Chain A
């Protein structure tokens, strides 16, 4: 059984200015021990997608159709109590600003202890201490700092503490939404290497949401590129990097500076990312696409398999 499977998910926000289609036709799955990255520009719906997997959506978000199956159970049908258990024990999330979500007046160690205790009230004192210490070691935080308050930590250490918290209940899936964006490159690199080890060791799965393409391609096994609330291309990170197929993916890769001595001129994508209101037909990238034809405006492109597990949604392929 697949760990997570999302089928035909569509979601809209109902705002005063009318409905706004944030996600449409979202299909994907995550295997055990796999890292799947969602990349795209701001407003492409990647954060909403992460939130809907946890059902942490704001009030005006409405799921129009689709299923989110976690180990075969549709989480859109869970009761409040089941949902509460699901959220920490099965899936947990790390946000960008998560390092500010620690309670400033409680010791970091105690906060992690509490998280465990609320879900496992019967746990013994000694076991609890062992668990917290193990978590600290896991994320490479010195044990001597277990009794410190969050403000005594640096930003990187706080983010590690949040990761420890997310791991505290041994979830099967972690959704990391721009989890390292606010950190410096060196710290970011360290944390990513550590999570990579965790993923290997415990068979953890990750959904890695980021606007940083380079990072996503380095971290993920598979990458899904989103644009305007749709996934436009999905495949292994090697395939996507070596042979990007959707015009948007190609443009995205070409707009990204690399570390090469010989500088190829970047090819910026003209225009700004779109916001879709209402169930528009046609390809979302139509307006900015260098290869667009008249039919692209009319026909919603179907999925085409261009390689093993490499899917693309473009009429011109």
Chain B
């Protein structure tokens, strides 16, 4: 305590400072920010020259897949489209799919899990049985069936489907945490003060659940990115966008799998790296959240 008293340093800021002390977390953040930069730069190529448009921009002088050159830094695909600009556009899609799908499933899962845990009884049974049913459905298979039914899905429907299928896991964890929180003295104190259910949930439970939800979000992001990539690779992606999975599918379909490593490797490495970065961030967050993993010894 300073002479002037305490500065208002909330636990979230404290956690953030702890997070930054973890080298694995920092490494994850750095990799992730590189991808974020890629996503931002993806808007640039078509403006320089429409030739670099990731989907429509075909180099008129090229008709087959070309290795890297000055004109095309990572080479071109089979019809002369620039691989680098496709890769950049893929980063944008990965963020879009990964983060929106994860965010939606986390919000859904957190609220449903909190409701189930807090109210218990019939609400709990109803929500959790629904969760069980969804959890045992094989996500990829269901999406494949839907995709073939509707003859291909737009990127937004893929996002929504992933979100709808991926909340049960989160809600289970959040429910368990809510159960342990709702009998803590600080929640009981709020009850004794006459706080409404809404107030208890929004002001006392939710802030305590957010860090855990955030942790699960990092894992969900990777899952969503991988699902989208797998869908695209299997040919059920949105044909109007370029994603890394889509790029891999083109490599495969046009028979360049073993002939054009400059085309195969970049999307593959990007998928692995972005997954890894979210995983690393998740690991670091776990360390921050779980006091047992904290290194510092409190005398």
Contacts and interface: CB of A to CB of B under 8 A. Distances in A.
A199 interface: no
Interface stretch (A15-23, A168-176, A188-196): A15-23
B297 interface: yes
B21 A13 contact: no
Contacts of A159: none
Interface string A271-293: 00001000000000000000000
Contacts of A22: 299
A48 B297 CA distance: 12
A155 interface: no
Contacts of B297: 13, 15, 58-61
B290 interface: no
Contacts of A48: 299
B21 A275 contact: no
Interface residues of A, number: 12
Contacts of B21: 16
A275 B299 CA distance: 9
A20 B296 contact: no
Interface in B239-296: 296
A16 B17 CA distance: 12
Contacts of A15: 296-299
A296 to B, nearest CB: 21
A60 B297 CA distance: 7
Interface in B186-240: none
Contact of B296 (A16, A43, A61, A275): A16
Contacts of A20: 299
A99 to B, nearest CB: 20
Contacts of B298: 15
B239 to A, nearest CB: 53
Interface in B102-124: none
Contacts of A59: 297
A61 B296 CA distance: 11
Contacts of A60: 297
A292 B166 CA distance: 65
Interface string A33-72: 0000000000100001000000000111100000000000
Interface in A208-260: none
Contacts of B296: 15-16
A20 B298 CA distance: 10
A13 B296 CA distance: 10
Contacts of B299: 13, 15, 20, 22, 43, 48, 275
B61 to A, nearest CB: 59
The interface centre, meaning the residue of B21, B296, B297, B298 with most chain A CB atoms within 10 A of its CB, is B297
A53 B21 CA distance: 33
* Most chain A Cβ neighbours within 10 Å, of B21, B296, B299: B299
Nearest to A43: B299
B17 to A, nearest CB: 10
B28 to A, nearest CB: 21
B156 to A, nearest CB: 45
Interface in A8-34: 13, 15-16, 20, 22
A22 B297 CA distance: 12
A59 to B, nearest CB: 8
Contacts of A43: 299
A58 B21 CA distance: 20
Nearest to A47: B299
Nearest to B1: A272
A284 to B, nearest CB: 14
B292 to A, nearest CB: 13
B291 to A, nearest CB: 14
A314 B297 CA distance: 31
A213 to B, nearest CB: 22
A275 B298 CA distance: 11
A215 to B, nearest CB: 24
A15 B296 CA distance: 6
A59 B295 CA distance: 10
A262 B61 CA distance: 105
Q: Which of A16, A22, A43, A275 has the most CB of B within 10 A?
A: A16
A270 to B, nearest CB: 15
Nearest to B21: A16
A60 B296 CA distance: 8
Nearest to B18: A16
Nearest to B17: A16
Given A13-B297, A22-B299, A48-B299, 14 more contacts: A13-B299, A15-B296, A15-B297, A15-B298, A15-B299, A16-B21, A16-B296, A20-B299, A43-B299, A58-B297, A59-B297, A60-B297, A61-B297, A275-B299
Interface of B: 21, 296-299
Identify the 7 closest CB pairs spanning chains A and B, nearest first. A58-B297, A60-B297, A13-B299, A20-B299, A22-B299, A16-B296, A15-B296
Interface of A: 13, 15-16, 20, 22, 43, 48, 58-61, 275
17 contacts: A13-B297, A13-B299, A15-B296, A15-B297, A15-B298, A15-B299, A16-B21, A16-B296, A20-B299, A22-B299, A43-B299, A48-B299, A58-B297, A59-B297, A60-B297, A61-B297, A275-B299
